[in-house]
Amino acid sequence: MTRETAEAMGQGRAARGADPGRSGDLGPPARVRQDGDSAPVLTEKTLLFIPNRVHLPLNCDYMNPMLALGASLSATPSAAPLGSPGLWLIGAERGALIVGLAIALGGLAGAGLARQYKGTIPAPLPGPWALRGSLLGAAASAALLITAIADPGLAASLSHPLVLGLRGRATAVIALIELAFFALAALLLWTRRASTSVLPLAGVVLAEAVRSHPDGMIPAAGAMLTICHLLPAVLWAGILLYVVRTAIAWRSDPAAVHGLIKLYSNIAAWLFAVIVITGLIDAFLLVPIGSLLTSAYGRFLIVKAVIVAVASVLAVGGRYWLRRHPDPDAGPARVTRYEVGALAGVLVITGILTVVTPPARSVYSASRPASASVRVHRAPRSAAHQAHQAHPGNPAGARAGRTGAA
């Protein structure tokens, strides 16, 4: 037994000795632990006089190992309402971060894809906008970090489901990590080490996966699912942007533009398939069917799915354009250019979805229920207390009982 517990028991006994007639006296209030997200915990002196059967919220995170029993109240902050300006601000910052990641990482992948073209190259390949994308991502990460520091309560309310270990601090901590990754990537790109810059950009994808809703639902497995969904999405958008820029630079040679768009279409089909499969798994994990139309997250998810469907239709239109013989200086098809705008909209909606709380409950939390029916036994009655019950009107009998107990 710890010294705190012993002192608490001593205070409880002193309180009962001072007023033996108050058999239901609970003594001082329950001790409250102040370790981060902890909640009130009942000490032994409070548990001594709890009725035979009570219903207490029980969470193993706050169980006192010495008492083998703890009771806690939910201390997680409620999610920010959809009308909160801070929600839209952080959502926009997250959207800009994902767009910067797509421009940087997807641009590098697009440049590598364009180098696979085996025909005659009518003009030099344009340089990828990887440095610009990294700077945009760094600026968005810095803005996100400043917002989280300026209003930690808002940042904590937008961290649902809570990231295991980081909890309410996840927004600020992960924004700082992403800022460091983007800054390192920009430094490597500025020193013309483009191939090495892929590593810190991949670190941003990993950081976003750890912060994501699926990882808050199922730790580790949810992060892997997010990587398999986010990485193809940013590659699809970034590669398409680079291919459109290259097709405009090569517009004097329709055959070269045709071949480049065909290369892109082949890889985009595989990326689209992975995005759809992982997106469906995400949706089933985060949104129950009954909440798809009634929750804000479900409605935003529907909007995202519609825009992805529009982008896929535009991609099919681009493949149909490949069967034609375009005029010289025509450049890429108009539907391919519209596809870029549709994918940009998907990335922005994705940023907003990161700050909207999904209606599904965390599997991790469900494995350790927040409430349970607990049976608490009465503490053994002391001899003095038994003597008092036997002789309620005879203080001498009570003193005799205390003497016998001594």
Question: At a CB cut-off of 8 Å and minimum separation 6, what does 251 contact?
Answer: 257, 328, 329, 330, 331
345/338 Cα distance (integer angstroms): 11
Residue 68 has a CB neighbour count (10 Å cut-off) of: 7
- State residue 385's pLDDT score: 52
Report cis status (omega within 30 of 0) of the bond before 161: yes
Which tens digit of pLDDT belongs to each residue from 329-379? 666 778 888 888 999 999 999 988 888 888 865 554 444 443 333 444 444
Residue 79 has a CB neighbour count (10 Å cut-off) of: 19
For residue 119, which of 237, 242, 261, 235 has the smallest C-alpha distance?
261
Q: Tokens 């209606």, residue?
A: 359
pLDDT higher than threshold 80 for residue 389: no
- State residue 286's pLDDT score: 87
For residue 110, which of 232, 304, 308, 246 has the smallest C-alpha distance?
246
For residue 27, which of 37, 17, 36 has the smallest C-alpha distance?
17
Cβ 221 vs Cβ 132: under 8 Å? no
pLDDT higher than threshold 50 for residue 317: yes
Which tens digit of pLDDT belongs to each residue from 104-157? 999 999 999 999 888 888 888 999 999 999 999 999 999 999 998 888 776 666
pLDDT higher than threshold 80 for residue 228: yes
Cβ 133 vs Cβ 112: under 8 Å? no
163/143 Cα distance (integer angstroms): 21
pLDDT higher than threshold 50 for residue 176: yes
Residue 250 has a CB neighbour count (10 Å cut-off) of: 26
Which tens digit of pLDDT belongs to each residue from 62-107? 444 333 333 333 333 445 566 677 788 888 999 999 999 999 999 9
In this prediction, residue 164 has a pLDDT band, given cuts at 50, 70 and 90, of: low
Q: What is the distance, to the nearest Å, from the Cα of residue 203 to the centroid of all Cα atoms in its chain?
A: 16
Average pLDDT taken over every residue of the chain: 74
Q: What is the rounded average pLDDT of the residues 160-179?
A: 72
46/213 Cα distance (integer angstroms): 38
Where along the chain do its domains lie? 3-74+370-405, 85-364
248/252 Cα distance (integer angstroms): 9
Q: What is the pTM for the complete model shown?
A: 0.68
Cβ 125 vs Cβ 275: under 8 Å? no
For residue 340, which of 46, 14, 74, 103 has the smallest C-alpha distance?
103
pLDDT higher than threshold 90 for residue 3: no
